[in-house]
């Protein structure tokens, strides 16, 4: 009872007790399911209950930022209704602009204020400081100053902001009607299994389910349990073990230098690729399983991304909900594959300026100048080439902003730009590639190998951004040194590869358990889909008592892999 009291107390926590891998969360979820079982036929009451539960869940992770979530939900709900009833097109455009400014301001202020200020100070040698005016205003009404004056990042702000934007935009486009009941909408935005890390849910997919009674069949129940168990295995056995006992031990040393031979870091980055996939897809597997148990279906967020045969195929398989959101609400409005306008040129100019601003690599001016000349020559001498220019600009804009969405750091911008450039190269390369449509096994293997290693290579910037925060920052690592780490690791891999059989054998002997787990993770990932479908159908067909015994044994074994350190989910920071 004491444990239950601590879970449901009003005390603000850091949210660590309510993550999917902790017992507290499962006690919390069990009680929610018990109450929910009595509300199956009362859809409005169900939405009210789950809104309250979700807001409480958010409160336990982000404290008084729950008020920000409530304001965001309320404001967008009424904007959506206002757009729908407005017959004047000018008024409709004005409202959608207000919605965009409001939502992007929330995201920009809480996620990027320090980043832009620090970049400005570095470039212009100024010393401006951030003041949280909202906290200062709130504290003026209270004696005990409850609002922290440092700007903190609310958990899940990137996800619930995008859901709010898509809802209002879809109403503006007349693709959906606004939801009539406020609590249906508040439940849609705050739904706790996907609130903090997605997947990003579209109103057109989720809203029709709100008026339906929840029916949990044996097949649905069994399928949900498979997803949850699969997610726990990915997170605890693969992701956590690899990051604690292998990846971070070799990448983040006390001296912050890369002293191992380059080939070791190639293996470490391979391990990081399976780690980040197991971590993020493990979360979404659990979220999707929990949602199905509660009677709601969420779309899959991953489709075996390391089976991708090119970069474009990879981004159709990885973080599907974010990719489709960026396509529908950024890439296509900019003009997509077909056209572009003044907005595309302004955006690309701002992005190029921004890249120079945050990196201070003035050499980029030569690259931009060269690309401008190449595209101008193409427009002059190649028929219909302007269409490709617009496509390329729109694609680069989308990928750079997609990188920035992941975090307020130049590393994420560089990572996004590299993937954008790779997509452009592929779109031209596939026109002349002699093996693009080859069905031969060796060609298929080669395309997967190249794609996987490129994606892994770009994640050097993604992973080493962690050196800027946490214990590494506290150990004295300066921002200047942290910014140089990706290039130093790349230099070690490129110029000090130093592969030798003796050292390789010693390396395997030292880290044999993490290497076995990494290899097992890749093997399971690359299994044919029909194998995975077979074991899901087999489990579903088992008697319930046998399913319970099987799951109990698996969970017991899985939790034996938990170490002293239990890293948070990677995408929790986004």
Cite the active site residues: 406
CA distances from 364 to 355, 367, 411 (A): 8, 5, 16
- Whether the link from the prior residue into 199 is cis, omega within 30° of 0, is yes
Residues 261 and 499 sit within 8 Å (Cβ to Cβ)? yes
Tokens of 389: 């220019």
Convert 361-405 into a string of H (helix), E (strand) and C (coil).
CCCHHHHHHHHHHHHHHHHHHCCCHHHHHHHHHHHHHHHHHHHHH
Residues 489 and 464 sit within 8 Å (Cβ to Cβ)? yes
- Angstrom distance (rounded) from CA 343 to CA 349: 10
- Angstrom distance (rounded) from CA 546 to CA 137: 59
What DSSP state is assigned to residue 331? Answer: I
Tokens of 57: 């869940």
CA distances from 559 to 142, 336, 376, 552 (A): 45, 47, 60, 11
Q: Which of these, 234, 235, 252, 246, lies nearest to 272 by C-alpha position?
A: 246
Tokens of 563: 């170490």
Q: How many residues does the chain have?
A: 574
SS3 133: helix
- Angstrom distance (rounded) from CA 524 to CA 528: 9
Per-residue burial over 73-88, b if 16 or more Cβ lie within 10 Å, else e, is: bebbbebbbbbbeeee
CB atoms within 10 A of CB 66: 20
Tokens of 87: 């017959």
Residues 19 and 25 sit within 8 Å (Cβ to Cβ)? yes
Q: Quickly count helices (H) and strands (E) in the chain.
A: 28, 0
- Angstrom distance (rounded) from CA 447 to CA 143: 63
- Angstrom distance (rounded) from CA 534 to CA 49: 37
Nearest-Å Rg of the Cα atoms of the chain is 25
Tokens of 91: 């008024």
What DSSP state is assigned to residue 571? Answer: G
Tokens of 474: 């506290």
- Angstrom distance (rounded) from CA 7 to CA 183: 24
């Amino acid at each position: 009872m004491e444990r239950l009291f601590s879970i449901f107390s009003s005390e603000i926590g850091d949210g660590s007790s309510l993550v999917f891998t902790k017992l507290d969360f499962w006690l919390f979820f069990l009680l929610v399911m018990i109450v929910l079982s009595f509300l199956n036929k009362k859809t409005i009451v169900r939405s009210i209950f789950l809104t309250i539960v979700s807001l409480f869940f958010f409160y336990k992770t982000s404290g008084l930022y729950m008020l920000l979530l409530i304001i965001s939900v309320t404001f967008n709900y009424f904007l959506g209704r206002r757009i729908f009833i407005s017959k004047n097109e000018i008024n409709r455009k004005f409202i959608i602009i207000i919605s965009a400014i409001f939502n992007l301001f929330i995201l920009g202020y809480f996620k990027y204020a320090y980043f832009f200020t620090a970049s400005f100070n570095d470039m212009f040698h100024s010393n401006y400081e951030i003041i949280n005016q909202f906290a200062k205003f709130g504290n003026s009404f209270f004696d005990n100053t409850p609002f922290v004056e440092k700007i903190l990042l609310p958990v899940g702000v990137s996800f619930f902001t995008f859901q709010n934007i898509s809802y209002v935009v879809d109403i503006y486009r007349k693709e959906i009607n606004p939801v009539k009941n406020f609590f249906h909408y508040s439940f849609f935005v705050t739904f706790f299994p996907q609130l903090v890390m997605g997947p990003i849910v579209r109103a057109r997919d989720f809203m029709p389910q709100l008026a339906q009674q929840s029916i949990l069949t044996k097949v649905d129940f069994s399928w949900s349990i498979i997803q949850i168990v699969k997610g726990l295995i990915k997170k605890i056995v693969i992701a956590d073990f690899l990051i604690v006992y292998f990846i971070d031990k070799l990448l983040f040393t006390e001296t912050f230098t890369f002293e191992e031979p380059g080939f070791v870091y190639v293996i470490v980055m391979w391990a990081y690729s399976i780690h980040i996939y197991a971590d993020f897809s493990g979360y979404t597997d659990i979220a999707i399983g929990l949602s199905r148990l509660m009677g709601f279906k969420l779309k899959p967020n991953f489709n075996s991304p390391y089976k991708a045969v090119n970069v474009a195929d990879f981004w159709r398989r990885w973080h599907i909900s974010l990719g489709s959101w960026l396509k529908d609400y950024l890439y296509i409005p900019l003009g997509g594959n077909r056209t572009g306008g003044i907005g595309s040129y302004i955006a690309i100019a701002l992005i190029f300026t921004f890249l120079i601003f945050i990196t201070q690599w003035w050499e980029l001016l030569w690259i931009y100048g060269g690309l401008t000349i190449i595209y101008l020559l193409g427009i002059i001498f190649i028929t219909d080439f302007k269409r490709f220019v617009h496509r390329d600009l729109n694609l680069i804009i989308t990928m750079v902003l997609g990188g920035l969405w992941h975090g307020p750091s130049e590393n994420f911008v560089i990572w996004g730009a590299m993937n954008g450039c790779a997509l452009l190269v592929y779109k031209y390369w596939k026109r002349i590639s002699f093996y693009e449509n080859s069905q031969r096994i060796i060609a298929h293997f080669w395309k997967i190998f190249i794609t996987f290693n490129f994606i892994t290579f770009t994640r050097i910037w993604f992973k080493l951004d962690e050196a800027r925060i946490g214990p590494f920052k506290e150990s004295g690592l300066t921002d200047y040194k942290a910014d140089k780490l990706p290039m130093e690791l790349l230099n070690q891999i490129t110029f000090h590869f130093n592969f030798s059989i003796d050292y390789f054998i010693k390396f395997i002997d030292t880290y044999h358990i993490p290497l076995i787990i990494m290899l097992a993770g890749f093997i399971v990932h690359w299994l044919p889909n029909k194998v995975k479908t077979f074991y899901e159908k087999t489990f579903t067909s088992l008697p319930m008592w046998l399913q319970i015994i099987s799951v109990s044994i698996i969970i017991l074994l899985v939790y034996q892999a938990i170490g002293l350190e239990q890293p948070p989910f990677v995408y929790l920071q986004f």
